[in-house]
Amino acid sequence: MTNPSKHKILFLTRWYPDKYDTMLGLFVKRQALSVRNYCEPIMLYISPSSSISHNIVIESFEDDGIHTVIIYFRKSEGLSSFSKFLSFIYYLLANLKGYKFIKKEFGKPDIVHVNVLTRTGILALYLKLFKNIPYIISEHWSRYLPVNNTYKGLLRKILTKVIVKHSSAVITVTENLKAAMLRHGLKNKYYVIPNVVDTGFFIPSENKTKEKKYIIHISCFEDKSKNISGILNAIKKISENRKDFELHLVGDGIDFNKIKLLAEELDIKDKYAFFEGLKENEELLKILQKADFMVMFSNYENQPVVILESLSCGMPVIATAVGGIPEIINKNYGTLIEPGDENSLISAINYMLDNHNNFNKEELRNFAIKKFSNKIIGEKLNEIYLSLLK
């Protein structure tokens, strides 16, 4: 059922949790959850699939108060230009079918909120030009950053500029990403609004009774960006001089087996490095509450949500000074080091093992509440929505 007293926001997103990956784009879902008290969020996610029986399959359901429509479209096999073109046509058809379904079930949206460019903006551009529905953009992707620089291709750049130009506003989660997009000539009115953390769920634990100090790393196990191998190298060297700690690695991804094999080769697996696999919801909270501090050694980042979750749990963080991380972490909340500098990482971990209890856990948590909570982010987003509806 729709609520006529609330404005309807249609979220279009490149990534979103689905039956193939429940963690994909979870930050987009959290963004939509943050505005539930102010508006009526409707989520449309188009996902490629090679296992569906028809060219387009629609799934519609309620998810924590979000009207959710996921459309799976047939992914053409092969790398030929024709296969790619056919997949793109199916993608466009899925978008149109999804919008017609949403309009019939929930009514015409008041505003479209695009998450992660570029293809997701095509439907928004169409709705703006032909249906007079304004749209805004939230960008989270690190591809615009110089160190990553995967924002390539003439057609993509032209289309992105057109989509950004016609949007009513662009939201980035960091000042760093805003500056990177502006350097690419993507001009518009920008807002910087961080990612969302459920600070009511991610809370500190009062009881941390453990024999050893507990370090945690959480990521998608993609070593090119996360440099988990560098963390393991540091842990190996630290273990040669002290035995009072454990590193627990949480997550899964394309390099999971590679990282696990490296831990075995370094002879630290199940001695100092423990692989927990993918953890969600209560399981993730429990493992965060056990930890004494978080370690990230990324080569490039934007704004990792796991850092925000750690702060919400009153936990200090070691991280690299890349992307938007320096906008969050300072000496009051953790330690910043340069990417790729394993010696600095070793020093930082040793320091944190001895001094993590000196950080003010209440101050860490209050910072997260004031900057990343559902209430704060929801209010900021709704202010932008209301400004478009006037």
In-domain check, residue 2: no
Beta strands in 197-348 (DSSP E): 213-218, 245-250, 273-277, 293-295, 317-320, 334-337
Query: Tens digits of per-residue pLDDT, 217-236?
Result: 999 999 999 999 999 999 99
Question: Token pair of 163, please?
Answer: 């989509």
Compute the distance between CA of residue 350 and CA of residue 342 in angstroms, rounded to an integer. Answer: 12
201 alpha carbon, distance to own chain's centre: 17
Q: Give the separation between CA 30 and CA 10, rounded to whole angstroms.
A: 15
* Average pLDDT rounded to a whole number, residues 107-116: 97
User: Looking at the structure, do residues 104 and 162 belong to the same domain, yes or no?
Assistant: yes
- Compute CA 249 distance to the chain's CA centroid, rounded to the nearest angstrom: 18
Across the range 322-335, mean pLDDT stands at 96
Q: 390 vs 7, 22, 70, 109, 111, CA distance in Å?
A: 12, 37, 31, 15, 12
For the residues 257-286, what does the mean pLDDT come to? 96
Q: Between these two residues, 205 and 8, which has the higher pLDDT value?
A: 8
Residue 28 lies in a domain: yes
What pLDDT score was predicted for residue 380?
97
Contact 321, 302 (CB under 8 A): no
Q: 236 and 179, same structural domain? A: no
Q: Which residues of 366-381 are buried (b: 16+ CB within 10 A; e: fewer)?
A: ebbbebbbbebbbebb
Q: Is the dihedral of CA 55, 61, 63, 65 positive or negative?
A: positive
* Judgement on whether residues 360 and 381 belong to the same structural domain of the protein: no
Same domain, 83 and 146: yes
139 has which bridge partners?
172
Question: Sorting pLDDT into bands at 50, 70 and 90, what band is 268?
Answer: very high
Residue at 203 is within a domain: no
Tell me the pLDDT tens digit for each residue of 57-66: 999 999 999 9
Q: How far apart are CA 375 and CA 131, in angstroms?
A: 31
Q: Is residue 271 part of a domain?
A: yes
Residue 69's DSSP bridge partners are 44, 60
- Domain check: are 130 and 273 in the same one? no
What amino acid is encoded at 69 in this protein? V
In sequence order, what are the residues at sequence separation of 6 or more whose Cβ sits closer than 8 angstroms to the Cβ of residue 92?
122
Nearest to 241 by CA among 272, 265, 211, 275: 272
* Encoded tokens for 356: 């993590």
DSSP 31: H
pLDDT of residue 205: 87
Mean pLDDT of the region 378-382: 97
- Shared domain for 73 and 99, answered yes or no, is yes
pLDDT at 326: 96
CB-based contacts of 390, cutoff 8 Å, min separation 6: none
Q: Domain total for the chain?
A: 2
How many CB atoms lie under 10 A from the CB of residue 319?
A: 27
CATH label of the domain that carries residue 299: 3.40.50.2000
Note the pLDDT of residue 208.
66
Residues 235 and 122 in one domain: no
Per-residue DSSP letter, 325: G
Q: Does 208 fall in a domain?
A: no
User: Are 363 and 384 within one domain?
Assistant: no
What's the token pair of residue 344?
Answer: 């600095």
Residue whose token pair is 């070793």:
346
What's residue 338's pLDDT? 97
Angstrom distance (rounded) from CA 268 to CA 275:
11
Query: What is the pLDDT, as a whole number, of residue 242?
Result: 95
Mean pLDDT score, 131-152 = 92
Of 77-86, 106-115, 357-366, the one with minimum mean pLDDT is: 77-86
pLDDT band at 49 (very low <50, low <70, confident <90, very high): confident
| 26 & 170 share domain | yes
pLDDT digits (tens, 9 = 90+) for 281-310: 999 999 999 999 999 999 999 999 999 999
pTM over 0.95: no
Rounded-to-10 torsion of CA 151, 156, 157, 160: -100
Does residue 202 belong to any structural domain of this protein?
Answer: no
pLDDT tens, residue by residue, 29-41: 999 999 999 999 9
**Domain housing 313:** 213-371
**Half-sphere exposure (CA, 13 Å, Cβ side) for 115?**
26
- In a domain? residue 207: no
Is residue 53 scored above 90 in pLDDT? no
Residue 148 confidence (pLDDT): 80
Q: Give me the chain's average pLDDT, please.
A: 94
Residues 255 and 352 in one domain: yes
- Residue 204 inside a domain? The answer is no
Does the structure show a pLDDT above 90 at 209? Answer: no
Residue 81's pLDDT band, with cuts at 50, 70 and 90, is: confident
CA distance 306 to 289: 13
**What is the rounded average pLDDT of the residues 183-210?**
91
Please give the pLDDT value at position 182.
97
Verify that 381 and 366 share a domain, yes or no.
no
Please check whether residues 250 and 220 belong to one and the same domain: yes
